[in-house]
Amino acid sequence: MPQWLKDAVFYEIYPQTFCDTNGDGIGDIAGIISKLDYVKSLGCNAIWLNPIFDSPFMDAGYDVRNYKLVAERYGTNDDLVELFNKAHEKGIKILLDLVPGHTSDQCEWFIESQKPEKNEFSNRYTWTDSVWEAPPQYKFVCGITNRDGNYLVNFFSSQPALNYGFAEITHPNWQLPPSHPDCQATVEAMKDVMRFWLDKGADGFRVDMADSLVKNEDGEKPETCKVWRNIRKMLDEEYPEAAIISEWSRPHTSIGAGFHSDFYLDHDNNGYRYLFREKDKETGECKAVFSKNGKGDITKFLDDYLDELKAIKGKGYISFITCNHDTPRMTKMFSPLEAKLAYSFVFLMPGVPFLYYGDEIGMKFMEGLQSKEGGFSRTGTRTPMQWDDSANHGFSTASADKLYLPVDTSADAPTVSAQEKDEDSILNTIRKVIKLRHENEDLQSDGDFEVVYAESGKYPFIFKRGKFVIAVNPTDKEQKAPCKFDGEQVFAIGKACVENEEITMLPQSLVVIKVD
């Protein structure tokens, strides 16, 4: 286990829209380097970069054309190495985004694979043995190559699925078992990519769609888990301080598969959704725990979370996120104060937390934008970072019509420069809570978690982490609960007091109490 994960707080950067230094309207590596001191000022000591590899950008870089080449619009391989070096000088780790399940259909591997003549890449992807065969339970692209067959895709039609085999063989004429040498060659090719960047200074990888490798596999996905345990063995032997964090949202499975941490994502009936995203399916009314309307149910979160936490204790971590590039920003449903409470909660929980760029100032989800590079409904979460009140909010000197995506031009658009001046801003609040986390091991990744008060349909929620008691009342009403703990309040949003073994919390408040 990489020791640095114990006190890691990540900042997710969407490179297209973070900081543009050459005036072309698209963010770049030089821009990220220029903002490293800002990232450090947040208390973030690690960065996750969304894909920066060469790509035709049909899916914002999640369609990789060349895993070993930085996309020209971001810079060069040497620029990325400079980012590694500059970040390390400041005590910041860098995770790259690894897409192991598919490539672009412009990838050289695929170009070779689609040739009619047999070659070493013929089975790098999954092909049927006839253009007339396309079983409906799979997603195939049909009849566009000279090879007599149709190829499986993972998501968009431009993303052919790499071949890791099938757990259940239902079509033996073209499906291979995971043990087949050609499937093993795919695993080795991905290891080669990882070694290439780790040798240049990367500190690990966030792994896209980590559970998507071996096909015809449900539940615990044992064959896909074997692939990742194989890769983890390589990392432990050759790069013991390199981290891999999975997009899986099934911690007991993914940690068992060899990942160091797993994202807690907005999936149906899981704890993360109950906390921050839950809506009534018929009325659309918000029923998230952190909504001020008080219609959430903290026990639904705990029913899911506590089982997962128990299953991975001492083996790995759960990664809470404020948001990510695939998810509407919380400000789509929450007011700035609701979001401030929710974000603060994220950094007070166990595991390895992630802060999505712009959430620290309460950037909005921008409605109604035309899809960009496969963004579709996700596009409004990917707009340019808002640094100041200069042109394009300081993101770029390009004319507005040349920007990757439009900036928020509303009168109340938040900026870093404005929030720097406000002691109670989301920005300064997040800095304070992350600082508190860094200063106290009890609040870091390995710290204990104990429920003190949690009742169905009631507030506040109170939990204990070592010598700290955290109580949160997201609702717009005063709330009370039994609480035998008292001591110094070391962090607060709003107000609360403990008297006669009872805590009274004013509306929309959160407190951290260091117990006597």
**Residue 285 contacts residue 441 (beta carbons within 8 Å):** no
Q: How confident is the model at residue 513 (pLDDT cuts 50, 70, 90)?
A: very high
Phi, psi angles (nearest 5°) of residue 112? -70, -40
Q: What is the pLDDT of residue 283?
A: 94
Mean local confidence (pLDDT), 394-408: 98
pLDDT digits (tens, 9 = 90+) for 173-210: 999 999 999 999 999 999 999 999 999 999 999 999 99
Those residues with Cβ within 8 angstroms of residue 390's Cβ, 6 or more apart along the chain or in another chain: none
Peptide bond connecting 460 to the previous residue in cis, omega within 30 degrees of 0: yes
Q: What is the pLDDT of residue 257?
A: 98
Those residues with Cβ within 8 angstroms of residue 134's Cβ, 6 or more apart along the chain or in another chain: 128, 140, 142, 150
Q: CA 450, CA 452: separation in Å to the nearest integer?
A: 6
CATH of domain 449-515: 2.60.40.1180
Q: What is the pLDDT of residue 176?
A: 98
Residue 375: closest CA among 343, 328, 409: 328
Q: What CATH number does domain 3-100+183-439 carry, 2.40.50.140, 3.40.630.30, 3.20.20.80, 1.10.1750.10? A: 3.20.20.80
Those residues with Cβ within 8 angstroms of residue 86's Cβ, 6 or more apart along the chain or in another chain: 33, 36
pLDDT digits (tens, 9 = 90+) for 313-340: 999 999 999 999 999 999 999 999 999 9
Instruction: Give percent of the chain with pLDDT exceeding 90.
Output: 98
Q: What is the pLDDT of residue 416?
A: 98
Q: CA 216, CA 165: separation in Å to the nearest integer?
A: 9
Q: CA 1, CA 159: separation in Å to the nearest integer?
A: 32
- On the question of pLDDT at 301 being above 90, the answer is yes
Mean local confidence (pLDDT), 266-290: 95
Q: What is the pLDDT of residue 516?
A: 78
Q: What single-letter amino acid sits at 170? A: T
Those residues with Cβ within 8 angstroms of residue 285's Cβ, 6 or more apart along the chain or in another chain: 279, 293, 295
pLDDT digits (tens, 9 = 90+) for 132-147: 999 999 999 999 999 9
Q: What is the pLDDT of residue 374?
A: 98
DSSP 121: T
Longest dimension (CA), the chain: 81
pLDDT digits (tens, 9 = 90+) for 444-459: 999 999 999 999 999 9
Q: What is the pLDDT of residue 76?
A: 98
- On the question of pLDDT at 296 being above 90, the answer is yes
Mean local confidence (pLDDT), 460-475: 98
Q: How confident is the model at residue 486 (pLDDT cuts 50, 70, 90)?
A: confident
Looking at the chain, how many residues does it have?
516
pLDDT digits (tens, 9 = 90+) for 149-180: 999 999 999 999 999 999 999 999 999 999 99
Phi, psi angles (nearest 5°) of residue 88? -65, -35
Q: What is the pLDDT of residue 83?
A: 99
Q: Are strands 496-499 and 502-505 parallel, antiparallel or unpaired?
A: antiparallel
Q: How confident is the model at residue 269 (pLDDT cuts 50, 70, 90)?
A: confident
**Residue 36 contacts residue 82 (beta carbons within 8 Å):** no
CB atoms within 10 A of CB 279: 14
Mean local confidence (pLDDT), 367-396: 98
Mean local confidence (pLDDT), 2-20: 98
Give the residue extent of every domain in the chain.
3-100+183-439, 102-163, 449-515
Q: CA 55, CA 51: separation in Å to the nearest integer?
A: 9
SS3 track for 408-452:
CCCCCCCCHHHHHCCCCCHHHHHHHHHHHHHHCHHHCCCCCCEEE
Q: CA 297, CA 270: separation in Å to the nearest integer?
A: 12
Architecture of 102-163 per CATH?
Answer: Alpha-Beta Complex (3.90)
Q: Which two tokens stand for residue 469?
A: 């008691």
Mean local confidence (pLDDT), 406-423: 98
pLDDT digits (tens, 9 = 90+) for 15-26: 999 999 999 999
pLDDT averaged over every residue in the chain: 97
Q: What is the pLDDT of residue 407?
A: 98
Q: CA 411, CA 389: separation in Å to the nearest integer?
A: 10
**Residue 151 contacts residue 139 (beta carbons within 8 Å):** no
Three-state DSSP class for residue 199:
helix
Q: What is the pLDDT of residue 385?
A: 99
